[in-house]
Amino acid sequence: MKKKRSHGANVGSASILLIFTVLSLVSFATLTLVNSKADYNLSQNLADRQIAYYSACHQGNAFVAAVNSGYETENENGIIKKSIPITDNQSLDITIISNNINNSDNSSSNYTITQWQIVNNAESVYDYTLPVFK
């Protein structure tokens, strides 16, 4: 009687499955790390932008308080303008006009804010390239 030899078709299948699993885990871990770094950079840029914006707003509030108290008197026909830089390309523009025309109300404010606006000073150039190799 001859014994049938079974050829080992699945001799290395466990090793191949283990190698594939480890490579998959390493790939997903690397993608997660890259995505986390990109999210961190984005949130850091947004935090820096918010700090710059609120700093400009605080300077604008100080300017309005100084004008209302009478410290700032550089006006042109009752209009006082100030531009506070936020970034290299943006600024906060503030325009205040005098209420001395008909000051019948009993408010303590002598001026009215007519403009409080973020203005782009330069033409924005957007970078659409993909940083594949850094």
Q: How far is CA 128 from the centre of its chain?
A: 17
Q: What ranges do the domains of the chain cover?
A: 15-120
pLDDT value, residue 130: 76
Residue 45 pLDDT: 94
Q: Which two tokens stand for residue 107?
A: 């408010």
Contacts of 94 (CB under 8 A, 6+ apart): 60, 63, 64, 81, 82, 83, 84, 113, 115, 116
Question: Which pLDDT score is estimated for 119?
Answer: 92
Instruction: Render each residue's pLDDT in the chain as its tens digit; 134 residues.
Output: 566 666 655 668 888 999 999 999 999 999 999 999 999 999 999 999 999 999 999 999 999 988 888 776 677 788 899 999 998 889 999 999 987 654 555 556 678 899 999 998 877 677 778 777 75
Q: Three-state SS for 66?
A: helix
Return phi, psi of residue 60, to 5°.
-65, -40
- Look up the pTM and report it: 0.66
Q: How many Å apart are CA 60 and CA 66, to the nearest integer?
A: 10
